A and B are shown apart, each in its own frame.
Chain A
Amino acid sequence: MMKKILLLLITSFISVAAIAQDFPYGEADLQLLEMKKYDKDTSAHAVVLNEYGSSRIIVNNLDHIRLAFQYHTKIKFFDNKDFERDGTIEIPIYNGDDMVYEEVTDIQGITYYKDDNGSLQKTELDPKKIFREKQDKHWTLLKFAMPALRPGCVIEVKYRLESPYFRNFHSWRFQSEIPKMYSEYEAYIPGFWNFNASLRGFLKLTTNKAEIERACFTFHGANADCSHMTYGIKDIPAFVEEDYMTSPKNFLAGIYFELIEETDFNTGAKIKYSKEWKDIDYDLKSAFWFGGQLKRKDLMKEKVAPAIVGKTDSMEKAKAVYTFIQKSFKWNEDNDIGSVDGIRKAFDNHTGNAAEINIALIAALNSVNIPTEAVLLSTRAHGNINTLYPGISDFNYVIAKANIGGKSYLLDATDPLMPFGSLPMRCLNDKGRVFSLDKPSYWIDLSATKQRENTTFTYDLTLQDNGKLKGTITRYSSGYSGYLMRKEIKKFNSVDEYVENMTGKFHKIKVLKSNIVNIDSLDMPLGETYEVEIDAFDNLNHDRLSFDPFILNKIVTNPFKMSERDYPVDWGMPSDIRYVLTMHLPKQYTIENPPQNIAFSMPNKGGKFLMEFQNDDNTFVFSHITQFNKSVYGSEEYPYLKELYNKIILSEKNELVFKKKS
């Protein structure tokens, strides 16, 4: 009985506290309806007038500890452009196993508008128009469209979400696609738990308060005070995405929490939740889904045995094991840091998530005495890692780091076309944490690997008496470029179909013969050789012939059009493209305008464009190189990147003129 009263008291106290900070709900304001634009961003189609959220660890009336999250927002629409995105609310909720699930209650919504006669009206959200869509076993989406939207209207939405996953303290996004006048988040954390909070993005908090709330949490006789934090930002600009950037998450302002420590209610003992890397290392090592699978050397030893028969050299063995794993699994496109049902099951089903495939690879390599560690990382789309506090909640992917002959190789076996030692683009992001069963973990850099995109075109052409150019075009694609080309070729049922499709696109180039080498030798450059005839001129009855030496892949527009940029340009890896054109002219012709050699460089060896011309009687060699040496260019380097492209475009405007000797 006593307990019940106490609980009631707590709940009523909570609601009082919440209302005290939250802005009032249901207040119509004619002035807001008359607002014609948002002065701080006149291009905005909508603005968040006020947004409030709070999270609190509570004991609910069933005597369960829960995280109670309250959300409240008020949005002004100036026109109808953002109705679909911001007038439709979606709340994802998670249903765990064992009858544990998240619950959303008290969904309320009002649309305020001026009716056809100009008087203020309100339409409330009809609870029957809230849809519940079961997406899969775990996720359900609550969706509703706000009623009675019209240009100029204001909507207000409020709901409460109660979650059993209180250790995943709710994060808060300050920034979104539309600007916000004010956004505030309050966190109430009882002393039994200790969380690290970290702020991401470029914006600064304008409200940042920490208070103590006495005796705010009681559970089975144990009491605690709460730390009560208030985070707020005023005048938040809209987030505008730019080309060639990584996950917007890296730049969006938000606040994130990570549990460090929990106190046992009965004993007062402290349970550490990853405070230091050595604790995390230990936890990972003992986890079934991670260390438990990394240990399964014996299982993998048996499986890979046939693949390494007769191989003695470590490198040879490593490559054979890598190929074997690539061929044994089909990646189910899930990113994960651990195995769901163990690697044995994944192996038997020939399918698994990224962790299962690469943990199987790590165990297999270790089983043949190639020391290999696991690297946890966050994919590009998933965003950067917070390295301020030790923790694994930012990771979503596992790769392997094999150490052979004093060198280390990063491996990902999810893609059967990926060469040994190359990583897919999604993995080239920020940092990775290296774990093994016997050594402390450490960071490695993944944004600047040795990986490159390299392509070399070689043309050897002879101008014939009939005005056509005859000769060969070869393209060598190595490094990541080789991977990309193989992927392109494999889109077709056969190499012939690839060649047919490609030659179909070049109308003036007739392919007489083609040869493609190293399609299946992933470590070798992919080579394509085409014997061609190019329709260059109708005949040679001209005194002057104008010729564009940039036969394929001429750059005519600058990919960078903005005058400045807020976020870095992130290409994932350096690149290098080379063209060498050797041209044999008939005796009677000479070059009228031999081009000058050109060299443009970016500061600090960031990149360059070179053009070279060598003339030897009737033969000339014209070559050019475009090189970008960095994976990521900061926004301060943006003008140089843009200018380099400008110079490339200008240089490629020149045409060569072949002139008859007099």
Chain B
Amino acid sequence: MKRILTILILLIQVSVTFAQKNYDVALISKDLLPYASAVTRDEEVTIEVKDLDNVIYHVKRAITVLNKNGDDIVNLNVYYDKITSIKYIKGYIYNEFGKVEKKISERDFEDYAVTDGFSLFLDDRAKHYIKATTQYPYTVEFEYEIKTRQSLNFHTWQPNPHTGLAVENSTYTFMCKPDFNIKYKANNIPGPVSIGSTKDGLKTYTWQVQNLKAVKREAYSPNEDTYLSSVRIAPEKFIYEGISGSFTNWQQLGKWQYDKLLMNRWSIPVETADHIREITANITDPKLKAKKIYEYMQQKTHYISVQIGIGGYQPFLASDVDKLNYGDCKALVNYTHSLLKLANIDSWYCLVEAGRAHKVSLISDFASMNQFDHAILCIPFKNDTTWLECTNQQIPFGYLGDFTDDRTVLACTPEGGKLLHTPKYTTEENLEKRKAEFNISENGELTGNMETVFKGTEYENRNQIIEEAQTERIKDIKRYYPINNLDISRLDYRQDKNVMPTTFETIKLSAHEYAAITGGKLYFSLNSVNRAGSAPPMVRNRVNPVLINRGYTEEDEITYTLPNGYKPDSEPLNVTIEKPFGKFTTTVSVNGNHLIYKRKLQLKDGTYSKDIYQELVDFYQSVTDADNYNMTLVKN
């Protein structure tokens, strides 16, 4: 204890004095203020590779917080774990005029365990600083140094990672011995890298950004890499948790993972192996065999994330999963791979960046270990590549859904890494199709039946409800159908589980006082079953192109039987809009005492010019208006 204390004191004493910059808030350029809650005044991030197992990060950063919304931006988290230690951490708080108000020392930091909300266990920790203030603006300057014993991953430099943060100046310097080769990838950095050397003969790479305006959140924006500044660096030679390796491309990085992280983790206990052979003995088609094994794995296991040390990259042993029945994505993929091996089916462990909101591909010409966060399995059947998500007990064999669709992933094969592309679900395939027959009685009651089909990425739309018990299902389905006084007397689901799966929903419903009656007229909403909701917000001076990430098609047809002696009194609804990014048609026709409402909405995926955004808003507004159309019936 005493020893640690002396070291700390020493550290504080040797710390260099700050190169003084004037943090007077009045000096911030007016151009940087719009949409900014905080401004980075000056940032210097330096990484020095002293050795393959000795890398020093030195970070000095001064941020001026303009108002309460900037508080979160300035709060500092410095992460550490078994191989990463914090050497020192300190700072100053300045007032509006750039005068020192308070010194921050390591004591002021709170230490806590990092949790990600879904892992059972993570061994990461962090030191956390929250500034307590009541006066704005103010400036916080931090300086810290961390040492890490691995050279596989370097933090990506992101000078403006938040919306609401403007940047006056930020510099990134990477220092290493001349024989330490790196690859780098710079995004949205105005100038080229400047390469130089230090007195001590270290090679330096430097990037700089100045006067970046605060980024505003815009709906339908592409992935942030396309508009935020960043520099990624990957080593050629490295050490990670005592394992060394080298790579210059995905082929080599995949090979290293296969050899060092995956090899020989496939052994399956004999009872399970026998059982697998037994259940597949009578199946000849390898694909059906694989399906049988996958379904066995699904019913046997469940997903629990445990990330310890190299466990961040290396799966648990297949035999452990067999015993525990749980594992994280890597462990379950490796387990499935091992089971398939028993039936002589080859499969590839694949790494992917998962996410629904954006489809992020691995950068094909830049290999590095920090581009993925999930594992899936690929079975390279001849002309019939099959993809398996192994962390979900319900998902059909060969179906990925919208979590890992349509993106470049890395397959770790015995021959090395291969970049593959996962299947895309198209605008036409992502279908929600509904057919209803409704009866409206003279007292305003609605009764009828409705059938809906969900396909493509829409397939999983009702999964949460399907998992529920019937009483809960009936409670929850009401949230999807905004029908007042909705009463459900029948609700059934059926799922066809295959590579292009389908969900069928059948509902028998009624709703008293669905139509309002006043002055001998009946008023009711034509579309209470599938409304687009509100249109996206209008924005001034949009910056980003418009991304429609995933296309989809909706088709609704409702046949209303009107009460005897009533006829429509509203102007007929008839809308057709066609745009490059989508189509919308809705029509109402009358046939005797039947009123037929049809609606078709189609959004086409793609990246469109920013100029089209207002058209998209108008398109949605027209859809919303049409969806909110109220029908009036009068007596003949």
Give the B-binding residues of A (Cβ under 8 A): 42-45, 80-81, 83-84, 87-88, 115-117, 123, 129, 131, 133-136, 143-145, 147-151, 327-330, 332, 349-351, 416, 490-493, 497, 500-501, 503-505, 507-508, 546, 548, 556-558, 561-562, 593, 595-596, 646, 649-651, 653-655
Contact = CB atoms under 8 A, between A and B. Distances in A.
A149 B323 contact: no
B539 interface: yes
Contacts of A80: 302, 393
Contacts of B393: 80
A507 B323 CA distance: 58
Given A44-B469, A350-B132, 14 more contacts: A43-B472, A45-B469, A87-B302, A123-B324, A145-B306, A145-B324, A147-B325, A332-B130, A504-B538, A507-B538, A562-B475, A651-B516, A653-B523, A654-B518
A84 B304 contact: yes
Contacts of A87: 302
Contact of B485 (A134, A507, A558, A651): A558
Contact of A507 (B133, B484, B513, B621): B621
A118 to B, nearest CB: 11
B537 A493 contact: no
Contact of B630 (A350, A504, A655): A655
- Most chain A C-beta atoms within 10 Å of own C-beta, residue among B326, B486, B523, B524: B326
A508 B621 contact: yes
Contacts of A507: 535, 538, 617-618, 621
Contacts of B632: 546, 655
Main SS of the interface on chain A? loop
A135 B471 contact: no
Contacts of A349: 132
A330 B133 contact: yes
B366 to A, nearest CB: 35
B69 interface: yes
Contacts of B525: 556, 653
B540 A655 contact: no
Given A148-B325, A653-B630, A134 B134 contact: no
Interface in B272-305: 272, 275, 299-300, 302-304
Given A134-B113, A350-B133, A501-B537, A129 B523 contact: no
Given A493-B66, A501-B537, A131 B324 contact: no
Contact of B469 (A42, A557, A651, A655): A42
Nearest to B618: A507
B164 interface: yes
B7 interface: no
Contacts of B534: 505
14 contacts: A81-B467, A88-B304, A149-B325, A150-B300, A501-B537, A503-B538, A505-B538, A507-B617, A507-B621, A546-B571, A558-B484, A561-B486, A649-B484, A654-B518
Contacts of B201: none
Interface in B106-154: 110-113, 120-121, 130, 132-134
Interface of B: 35-37, 66-69, 110-113, 120-121, 130, 132-134, 164, 271-272, 275, 299-300, 302-304, 306, 323-326, 393, 467-472, 475, 478-479, 482, 484-486, 513, 515-516, 518-519, 521, 523-525, 534-535, 537-540, 570-571, 617-618, 621, 630, 632
A351 B617 CA distance: 44
Contact of B519 (A115, A136, A491, A593): A593
Given A490-B68, A558-B484, A650 B516 contact: yes
B469 A43 contact: yes
B99 to A, nearest CB: 17
Contact of B35 (A135, A143, A493): A493
B271 A133 contact: no
A649 B66 CA distance: 44
Nearest to B300: A150
A414 to B, nearest CB: 12
Nearest to A592: B519
Nearest to A657: B632
Given A143-B120, A350-B132, A561-B486, A84 B302 contact: yes
A358 to B, nearest CB: 16
Given A493-B37, A493-B66, A504-B538, A654 B486 contact: no
A143 B478 contact: no
B485 A83 contact: no
Contact of B302 (A149, A493, A562): A149
Contacts of A649: 484
Given A149-B302, A507-B535, A653-B630, A328 B134 contact: yes
